[in-house]
Chains A and B, each alone.
Chain A
Amino acid sequence: MVGQYDENVLPDMLPVYYTRLFPQNLFCRWLSCGNSPQPLSNRELSFTLADDVYLRYLSINNQKEFFTLLQKKCPHKLDIGAVYNTKPSVGRHDAVVLARELVFDIDLTDYDEVRTCCQEAKVCDKCWKFMVVACEIINAALKDDFGFQSILWVFSGRRGIHCWISDYEARTLDSPGRAAVADYLCLIMGGENQSKKVHLGSDNLHSSIRRALIVIDKYFDDIVQDQEFLSTSDRLKSFLKMIPDEALRKQVQENLERMPTSSIDRWKCFVNNYNQFCKENLHGMRKMKYLIEEIKIQYCYPRLDVNVTKGFNHLLKSPFSIHPKTGKVSVVFKPDNAKDIKLDEIPTIYTLLDDSSSDNVQHQTNMRTAVKNFQELVFSLEKAEAVRRKTEANTSLEF
C-alpha cells in the first residue's frame, strides 16, 4: 500500500493529520500525568523536520501551545524526552532529570540472527509474531511482578514496539533501578562470537521464566513452522552449536540430517532425542538441565534494547507520530490484541487522508480504536494519580 504514495507529499498532509486526527488533548494529558502544569512545561519534546533536521529541547506549556508549535514546524517525526527541573530549552546542560516514563524498545532488527523471513528494515506478519510474544511476556512481568498499572504499548512505526510505563514509581525510578528491571527481563546475552546466548543454570527456574515459557509455548510451533529454523543445512548448523554436549550433538545431527526438512518434525525429533539422552545419562546432565527451554528462549524470548531502558534521557518516538519512511501511524494497542494486528491494517497517513483509498474505511476504524485505547489508559492514569496525591496529602497531614 505504502509504495504508491510519495514521501514528498508529507509536508502537505501533516498539518491536516495533526489538526484532524492527532489526539492532542489526550497526548498533553498523558504527558502531564495529571500533575499539570509543572511537568508538562518541563518536558523535552524533539521534532524531526524535513531532511532530518533535528530540533531538540522544545517544550510546551499547554495544549494550545502544542497546537501552534505543530502547525508552525510540522514535524515529520515527534520524540519525547524526560521531565527536567527547569524548562529544557533554558538550562540544558545543568538541567537535572526529575522523571521519565520507564520505557522499553523492542526492535525486529535484533532478531536478525533468528528470523529467516525478513532481515533488517523488512518486516512481515510472520516475524510480527516475535513482537506478539515479546509484548505478552513483558506485559505480564511488568504487571504481575512489578505491579505497574499504566502500561502503554505502541507500534513503533516500522519494525518494532515501544512500551511506556507511567506509574509514579516507574517514572521516578533511578537509573540503577531501571538497569535492574532491564536485567531482570533480559535472558539473551552474547554477541556475534557466541553461539549459545541463554544460560539458565541447573537450579530451580525462576517463576518469571516459567511464565515466559508458557507464553512462548503458545506460539512456538507456529513460529518454528513460519521460520523453518532447522530446515537448511546452515540453519541446522547454527542450531547444533547450541548443544553443549558433543555426544548428544552428534546424535542429533545424524538423526536430523536423515529426516525430511520440516523444522517442526525435526524439532520434535530433537526433543525426543534429548529426553532419551537424559534417561541414559542421569549424571552429567546438570549443565543441560534446561537445554530445551534455553533454545526456545534463544529463538523466541524478547530481545530488549536495554540501553533505551537504562538511559534516563533517551528520546523515544511518540505515540501517534508518523513514521516518515512508511507513513504508518504509531498506534496504541492493547497487549491482549497484539496477536490480531495485521501489519497492512495499521493506518497510514496516506490512506487516512485519502477518501478514495480502498483501505480508508478500515484504517479509519483502526485509528479510532487506537485513540480509544490511548484514552482508556490516560483516564485510568489520571485516576491513579488522583488517588496517589490524595494518599500523599493524607500521610503528610498525619505528621
Chain B
Amino acid sequence: MEFKIKRKSVKTVTTGSLVDVYPHDLQMYKIPPTDNISLQEFESLALERLTLLRCLATATTLKGLRIFSEEWTDFVISDLKNQGLKYYAKLCEKSGCGTLQPDLEARRKDHIAHFILRLAYCRTEELRRWFISRELELFKMRFMTMKTDAIDSFFKINNLCYTNISDDEKNELIKYLRESTFYHNNQNIENFKFYKVKFYEVLDLVKSRKVYLRGGYAYIPHKDFISVLSAQFRMLLRQSLAVACHHLGEIEQDERLVSLLKGLHQSYSGNDFISDTKVTVPIESLDFLSAKSFPLCMKQLHEHLRSAHHLKHGGRLQYGLYLKGIGVTLEDSLRFWREEFTKIMELDKFEKQYAYNIRYNYGKEGSKKNYTPFNCLKIINTNVGPGECHGCPYRHCDSGILKNKLKGYGLDAQAVNDVVDMAKKGHYQIACSKYFDAVNKTDLGLGINHPNQFFEESQKLLKGDIKIEVKKEEKSNIVKTESNNIEDMDFDEITEWKE
C-alpha cells in the first residue's frame, strides 16, 4: 500500500541510501517518509510506538518516578526491552551516529512510526496535547542520554549554529550566572560555556527562574540547549499536527487505515462528564448531597459560598462546571448563585457582573463552547492565589488545616491520618479515594480521576446500584496494558502545565 502524507512543503526525502537519510539516531521529524510499506508493518509500527509512549506515561504516573531522573530512564529502557522493543531501547539508551544496518533500520522505524501516530493523534485538542507531551518527553530523554560528540553532530546536522559568549563577557557576568543558572553543586560553572539566546526561546527556564536574564537575552550553558530544542520541537509538532488534522479527510478515504487510526485513539478517550446529565439535580438538595457525595474540593467551595456568599473567579469556574456536570440546570444554577451573591450585593450588580459567566459556562455566551467540568489533574495543577479556595485541598491546604477540616466532618482519627498522610506524600488522588471510602463507609479503593466521578460513584452506592462497575473493557485488541487509560490521558495535562 502507499503511505503518503500530502503536505504543501515540497521538501521530500530523496530515496538515497539509508545512511544519508538517517545520519543520526535523534531526529526532528521535519520531513515525512515517502516509502511504501505493507499494511501489516504500518499496523505493527503504530502499535510499537504506542507501547513506547505509554511506557513513558507509566513510568511517571503508575510508578511515580520523577521524570527524567535516572530511575525513570532505567525503568523506561528495561520496560522497552521486556516488551520486545529492543530497537527503541537502543535509540533511547545511547543515541549516536552509528552506520550499522540495525541502527539505520531502527531510525527508519522511528521515523515512520512517529508520522503514523501523528495521524492517529491529530483529531482533537486533547489527543494532540497527549501526543505532544509524550513525544517531547521521548525527545528530551534521548537528548539527555546522548554523548557530547553525538550532541555536536546533532547540532551540525540540524544547522543549529550558536556561538558562545566571550570570556570577557562571561567573567563580567560570572557572579550572576552563578546565582541564577541551575546546576548541580558538584559541577564547576567556570568550565561551562555560555550561550546567549532570546528569552522566548527558553520559556521553560524563564518560567521556573532557572536561567540568568539580561536585556532580553537568556544566558544558557550547553546542557540547557535542550530547552531551546524542545521549544522548537514542540512548536514544529504542534504546527504539523494542525496540518495533519486539516488533511485527515484525504487520508481517511482509505478505509483500511480508518479503522486502525480511529481504533488507536479511541482507546484513549475517557469520560469527560459533559453529556451525562440525563438526571437533573435540584439545587435544594446540594447541601444534603455535599455531605457524602461531593469530593472535598467541591464541598469546601460549597461551604465557602454558603458562608461568605461569594467565590472568586477560579472557584466559580471550578464549582460552576462541576454543578453543571452533576446535573444542575442552567436556570437552577443562575438561581443558586443569585441567592447567595445577592446576600452581599445588589441584584443589579450580580446580573451584570456574574450572570454572564454562569451562562458562559453552559455555552450560552461568548464562543458558545460547551465547557467540560475540570478533572483532578487540572484542579491539582491549577494556581491558587491569595483569598482563593479552589484547587485540590490535598495539595493546596496546609496539613494542619486539612486535618482539622476532616475532623470537623466527623471522620475517625485513623481515616483522618490516612488521608493526611497520603496528601503529604503527594498522592492527592489516593488521599481523595481514602476520603471517599471514609465518608461513604466502604473500602472500594477507587481511583478518583474526576470530581464528577466521585459524585457518581457515591450516588451509585447510596442508591444501592451495582457495587462496583466493571471498568469498560477495551473493544480493541490493541495493547493489553490499556486498562487505566483515563489516568494516562489526564496525566498529559500535568506536563503541559508544568512546562
Contacts and interface: CB of A to CB of B under 8 A. Distances in A.
A191 B389 contact: yes
B397 A204 contact: no
Given A146-B216, A206-B180, A207-B179, A191 B384 contact: yes
B396 A191 contact: yes
B344 to A, nearest CB: 11
B37 interface: no
A206 B177 CA distance: 9
Nearest to A197: B386
A112 B179 contact: no
Interface stretch (A8-16, A171-179, A257-265, A373-381): A171-179
Contacts of A358: none
A315 to B, nearest CB: 13
Nearest to B367: A93
Interface string B379-417: 000011111111101001110011000000000000000
Nearest to B393: A193
A181 B206 contact: yes
Contacts of B396: 190-191, 193-194
B214 A191 contact: no
Given A110-B385, A183-B207, A193-B397, A144 B214 contact: yes
Contact of B203 (A180, A206, A241): A180
Contacts of B398: 193-196, 241
Contacts of A197: 386
Given A145-B213, A193-B401, A306 B383 contact: yes
Contacts of A90: none
A140 B217 CA distance: 15
B472 interface: no
Nearest to A210: B179
Contact of B216 (A169, A196, A209, A303): A169
B209 interface: yes
Nearest to B348: A52
Nearest to A298: B386
A135 B393 CA distance: 33
A195 B352 CA distance: 34
Given A110-B385, A193-B389, A206-B179, A147 B216 contact: yes
Contacts of B390: 191
Nearest to B215: A147
A184 interface: yes
A189 interface: yes
B213 A191 contact: no
B235 to A, nearest CB: 10
A189 B385 contact: yes
Contacts of A176: 203
A95 to B, nearest CB: 11
Contacts of A280: none
B121 interface: no
B207 A184 contact: yes
A147 B203 contact: no
Interface in B204-220: 204, 206-209, 212-217
Given A112-B387, A147-B217, A195-B398, A206 B200 contact: no
Contacts of A384: none
Nearest to B175: A207
Interface string A142-176: 00111110000000000000000000010001001
Nearest to A189: B383
Contacts, number: 106
Nearest to B210: A206
Contacts of A203: 182
Contacts of A190: 384-386, 396
Contact of A208 (B209, B383, B402): B209
Given A146-B216, A192-B389, A208-B213, A177 B203 contact: yes
Contacts of B313: 307
Contact of B387 (A184, A191, A210, A306): A191
B395 to A, nearest CB: 10
Contact of B352 (A52, A146, A179, A183): A52
Contacts of A144: 214-215
A183 B390 CA distance: 19
Nearest to A177: B200
Contact of A191 (B180, B182, B204, B386): B386
Contact of B385 (A146, A177, A191, A206): A191
A113 interface: yes
A87 to B, nearest CB: 19
A146 B182 CA distance: 19
Interface residues of A, number: 43
Interface string B302-322: 000000000001000000000
B6 interface: no
B268 interface: no
A148 B401 CA distance: 43
A169 B182 CA distance: 26
B493 to A, nearest CB: 15
B178 interface: yes
Nearest to B205: A180
B199 interface: yes
Contacts of A113: 386-387
Contacts of A204: 178-180
B176 interface: yes
A205 interface: yes
A145 B179 CA distance: 14
Interface in B273-310: none
Contacts of B179: 204-207, 210
- A173, A176, A209 pick with most chain B CB within 10 angstroms: A176
A188 interface: yes
A303 B383 CA distance: 13
A394 to B, nearest CB: 19
B387 A145 contact: no
B352 A207 contact: no
A303 B386 contact: yes
Nearest to A205: B179
Contacts of B386: 110-113, 188, 190-192, 197, 303
A317 to B, nearest CB: 15
Interface string B104-124: 000000000000000000000
Interface in B186-238: 199-200, 203-204, 206-209, 212-217
Contacts of B393: 193
Nearest to A167: B216
B209 A192 contact: no
Contacts of B387: 109-110, 112-113, 191-192
A146 B206 CA distance: 10
Contacts of A306: 383, 385
Interface string A201-233: 001111111100000000000000000000000
A52 B387 CA distance: 26
Contacts of A146: 199, 213, 215-216
B214 A180 contact: no
B388 A191 contact: yes
Nearest to B390: A191
A208 B203 CA distance: 16
A93 B366 CA distance: 8
A209 to B, nearest CB: 8
B439 to A, nearest CB: 19
A181 B216 CA distance: 11
15 contacts: A111-B386, A145-B214, A146-B213, A169-B200, A179-B207, A183-B208, A184-B209, A188-B386, A189-B385, A190-B385, A193-B402, A197-B386, A205-B179, A306-B383, A306-B385
Shortest 3 CB-CB contacts between residues of A and residues of B: A147-B216, A191-B384, A147-B215
Given A188-B385, A194-B396, A207-B212, 9 more contacts: A110-B385, A111-B386, A145-B215, A169-B216, A188-B386, A190-B384, A193-B397, A209-B209, A210-B179
Interface of B: 176, 178-180, 182, 199-200, 203-204, 206-209, 212-217, 313, 348, 352, 367, 383-391, 393, 396-398, 401-402
